Structure 1
Amino acid sequence: MSKPFILIVEDDEAIQRLITTTLETQNYRFLTASNGSQAILEAVSHNPDIVILDLGLPDMDGVEIIKKIRSWSTMPIIVVSARSMDQDKIDALDAGADDYLTKPFSVEELLARLRVAIRRIHYHHTDSAQQNLHFANGDLSIDYAAGCAFLKGTELHLTPIEYKLLVLLSKNIGKVLTHNYITKEIWGSTWENDVASLRVFMATLRKKIESESQQKYIQTHIGVGYRMIKN
């Protein structure tokens, strides 16, 4: 797979320079935008593979840009923002962002987040027919058609809710899913008691899929949600 084409949306010249220099050293192809209007125009015109997006732009809030891009594209969006409150992260992720990196950040962490996004692109570019029937990630596999999950070839005994959670995470591998998004998908609501129930079900699911494997599959983003890790 060739290096992805990345759109960098950042109005701070120093941060934009840091990101572009980092991408240049790794031979990534990229273009830049310094405001929301330019970002949307570049996204529509060039259809980049990944967007690195600052939220605090001079003409438009980054969350609005995420919503606009999501109205026509599923390209991974990595938010890089000085906003560090949980609610800011939740708002961006609920709007459709795939990841959230808080400033100041290290070059190594930015590159790691990019690798996650690239793996997600690669996963979604695999044979769609096969993907719709079967999922494999390390020792974990799911037969969607049969409604069964396996660890090292042995069937897992999951409750209906645990299985639904596992399927939801697997179909969004590498993407942070917020508590509200998950509870709405699983229970059809976002009541506070649903979030409490989610924590309980996620703990039992994690125990079942990680206790017999050296691999970790579910990453907790405290106060925000969960992500399935690619193994």
Structure 2
Amino acid sequence: MTARIIVVDDEPDLRALVSDYLGMHGFAVRTAATAKELDAELARLPAEVILLDVNMPGESGFDALGRLRAAGVRAGVIMLTAAGTLDDRLAGLCSGADDYLVKPFAPRELLARVRAVLRRLPAAEPAAPAPIEVGRCRLDLVARRLLDPDGSECAMTPMEFDLLEVFVRHPDRTLSRERLCELAHGRPLAPGDRSIDIRILRLRQKIEPDAQHPQFLVSIRGEGYVFRPGR
């Protein structure tokens, strides 16, 4: 099963960088800017690893971690901070962190630490996530199926599924056609290639209540597309 990671940091650029990098290495990545947003993400879907910034608006990373551990959250946690003093590292580890990484860090080092934390987690298979609501349908990422409102499976090509999965893993983020092609299909978009647009039209016919007036897969003029869940 794909390991699920939540990146919690109040710096949007860092969240985007880490999310994209880990996503390209096969992880299912979500992001949060505050401890409150982290709580909402964990309530929606558990995670195997949490990358947790120490200094955030509101509740600090240390306090959030202590609270989560007291509540029984067993995810592996890597603390992220601009401070690398011994006292800071000890505070993080005493709060229940599994590792500690000082900013700025090399993405390759972060990847290695995430994999190391995953190796140390209990071998028990995590519970399969419930299907995710995508417009009028539900997406089962484990079984790779799209289900319509009555529970019947919608016919999808593998490339359509891969593209929809990218949108689900990057909600409310505008993605260019070039970026979508890289993330979904692992290749650059050739000049004049309109395959992404065609697949999005097909996806709209499946998930939108009215494909002519999309609410969920929305075009952003001159930029690309954005998936807006919960509309």
**Matched residue type, 2:68:** I
Deviation at 1:82, TM superposition (A): 0.7
Spell out the pairing of 1:35-54 with structure 2 (5 A cutoff).
35-54=34-53
**Corresponding residue number in structure 2 for 1:14:** 13
**Corresponding residue number in structure 2 for 1:110:** 110
**Matched residue type, 1:31:** R
Deviation at 1:51, TM superposition (A): 0.4
Spell out the pairing of 1:114-153 with structure 2 (5 A cutoff).
114-121=114-121, 124-125=122-123
Q: Distance in 2 between matches of 1:31 and 1:55?
A: 18
**Corresponding residue number in structure 1 for 2:78:** 78
Q: Secondary structure of the residue that 1:111 maps to in structure 2?
A: helix
**Corresponding residue number in structure 1 for 2:30:** 31
Report the TM-score, using the length of structure 2 for normalisation.
0.51
Q: Distance in 2 between matches of 1:50 and 1:60?
A: 19
Q: Secondary structure of the residue that 2:14 maps to in structure 1?
A: helix
**Corresponding residue number in structure 2 for 1:219:** none
Deviation at 1:47, TM superposition (A): 1.3
Structure 1 residue runs of 5 or longer lacking an equivalent are 128-231
Deviation at 1:45, TM superposition (A): 2.9
Q: Deviations over 1:90-148 (max 9, x none)?
A: 11110100000000100110000011011112xx2269xxxxxxxxxxxxxxxxxxxxx
Conserved 8 A contact 1:8-1:16: yes
Q: Secondary structure of the residue that 2:41 maps to in structure 1?
A: helix
1:99 aligned onto 2:99: yes
Q: Distance in 2 between matches of 1:26 and 1:97?
A: 23
Residues 37 and 126 (structure 1 numbering): CA distance in 2 closer, same or farther, change over 3 Å? closer
Structure 2 residue runs of 5 or longer lacking an equivalent are 126-231
Report the TM-score, using the length of structure 1 for normalisation.
0.51
**Corresponding residue number in structure 1 for 2:88:** 88
Count of aligned pairs between the two proteins: 124
**Matched residue type, 2:54:** L
Q: Secondary structure of the residue that 2:29 maps to in structure 1?
A: strand
Percentage identity across paired residues of the two chains: 27
Q: Secondary structure of the residue that 1:39 maps to in structure 2?
A: helix
How much is the aligned-residue C-alpha RMSD, in angstroms? 1.5
Deviation at 1:85, TM superposition (A): 1.2
Q: Distance in 2 between matches of 1:43 and 1:80?
A: 19
Conserved 8 A contact 1:5-1:49: yes
Spell out the pairing of 1:189-208 with structure 2 (5 A cutoff).
none
Q: Distance in 1 between matches of 2:12 and 2:124?
A: 37
Q: Distance in 2 between matches of 1:27 and 1:111?
A: 11
Conserved 8 A contact 1:40-1:65: no
Deviation at 1:6, TM superposition (A): 0.5
Q: Distance in 1 between matches of 2:46 and 2:124?
A: 20
Q: Secondary structure of the residue that 2:80 maps to in structure 1?
A: strand
Q: Distance in 1 between matches of 2:43 and 2:49?
A: 13
Q: Secondary structure of the residue that 1:57 maps to in structure 2?
A: coil
Q: Secondary structure of the residue that 1:109 maps to in structure 2?
A: helix
Q: Secondary structure of the residue that 1:32 maps to in structure 2?
A: strand
Q: Distance in 2 between matches of 1:25 and 1:38?
A: 23
